[in-house]
Amino acid sequence: MATLFSRYGTSMVKIGIVGGTGYTGVELLRILANHPDVEVACVTSRGEAGRNVAELFPSLRGFVDVAFTEPDPALLRTCDLVFFATPNGTAMQSAPELLAAGVKVIDLAADFRISDVALWEQWYGMTHACPQVLGDAVYGLPEINRESIRKAQLVANPGCYPTATILGFLPLVEEGIIDTSALVADCKSGVSGAGRGASVPTLMAECGESFKAYGVAGHRHLPEIRQVLGRAMSGEPGLTFVPHLVPMIRGILATLYGRLVKEGVDLQAVYEERYRDEPFVDVMPPGSLPETRYVRGSNRCQIAIHRPGDGDTLVVLSAIDNLVKGAAGQAVHNMNLMCGLPETAGLTSVALSP
């Protein structure tokens, strides 16, 4: 393979991370620490500026030797690619300037996921700062947008629930196998999905030994899932999406339901063929029951399809690590594609078990 060069002539791709103190930020640093083709040039944090990254996250000692800095647009403009591991509403303030300077941008929040500005503003409760950029953003799910991601300068990294849900439903929707007017996504996530900020609902005494639904009346990931599945079927699906919080740290298990409308279909073969060449989707053997522990720490999505009692209800189980395939790992996959690097570079870690 030819040597890959950054736009500044070096042999390493120069990376910036805005917002390096949250769970997705430190997960990015963990993955990039073992990436053979990148150099982490700067990691920003207003609250931790001047402090060494490994001092805040001792797990990175000996792997990451960089200090947090204040967000500096001039420094970020010297990077080849910048990740925004920031709250919703942050990336859209800075992305236009970086894009104009030729920097590639991956936003791990939701600023560029929904193409309809009015719909985005309705669900996120703020005015979009750069609606003119939305049309250029590519939705960063490689399993459906690989070639567009390769050519993109701005990528909207998918949400964690949408990743598990879309990958689980996608083959059925693409092939017209299920009734898309009444899909059900019953999803459970570990508490790291709520972020690293202190919050009473995610205190151990509040969520430990308990299990609850939330966002039943409407969750921000609902329009994102509808948008992507709608493009796959040329029309918006009817979808009931209910997320749940479970007292574990990592992982999402999506249990997906749909009514079969085509008989005589080898469902296992449909899934195996759809994901045959996908390095991070594992279609498990018939009868399998994916668990979040089987993907913990890895960039894999494990999927199994069931037809209870040979009836007309299909049940798809889709498991991911919400911080890896649901966030930082998928972002690195997108980075690899955008920068012409090997797709799986830095992402071949085997899941942690037990």
Catalytic residues: 160
**DSSP alpha helix (H) spans, 20-159:** 23-32, 53-56, 73-76, 91-100, 117-124, 131-134, 142-151
Annotate 203-238 with b (16+ C-beta within 10 A) or e (fewer): eeeebeeeeeeeeeeebbbbbbbbbbbbebbeeebe
CA distance 70 to 49: 5
From the number of C-beta atoms within 10 Å of its C-beta (0-12, 13-18, 19+), residue 337 rates as buried
CA distance 323 to 54: 19
**DSSP alpha helix (H) spans, 153-279:** 160-174, 204-207, 221-233, 267-274
CA distance 132 to 169: 31
CA distance 5 to 195: 34
